[in-house]
Amino acid sequence: MSPFPRKVTLAGANSSVAVEWSDGHRSLYPYGYLREKCPCATCTDAHGTGSRPTARPAAASSSVLPIYEEPLKPVKAEAIGRYALGITWSDGHATGIYSFDYLRELCPCGRCTEGVASSK
């Protein structure tokens, strides 16, 4: 059976989501990267209505004090069925369903990305 997450830590090191996999592998996903890779139909423009940028809008320049914007972070995660993780972000976005396979594909660690590079 393909590897699945045993443990997901939202407040991981270096503003990353830490995942411990069933096959022993460990992944660290920086928040911005993971949010950028949201597979939902809106983010990937699967609707054909124009994808929404994941970056936050620039603060209004006319006000005297810049509006404090909390840095992006995941506020909640839950298992979706037995095959995926759903993440709710601090910017309100909550429609991303990251299948375990997809999540594993996204692992940015040296070993995983090396594997990708060498298969080219």
81 binds other proteins (CB under 8 A): yes
Stretch in the footprint of other proteins (CB under 8 A) among 29-37, 47-55, 62-70, 83-91: 83-91
Provide the minimum distance between the beta carbon of 1 and other proteins in the complex, in angstroms, as a whole number. Answer: 8
Closest CA to 5 of 59, 84, 75: 84
> Residue with structure tokens 């997901």?
8
Residue 18 β-bridge partners: 9, 28
Closest CA to 40 of 81, 99, 97: 97
Of 94, 97, 106, 112, the one binding other proteins (CB under 8 A) is 97
- The single-letter code of the amino acid at 43 is C
How far is residue 97's CA from residue 29's CA, in Å, rounded to a whole number? 15
How many residues make contact with other proteins (CB under 8 A)?
21
CB of 26 or CB of 56, closer to other proteins? 26
Name the site residues for other proteins (rule: CB under 8 A): 1, 4-11, 22, 77-85, 97, 100
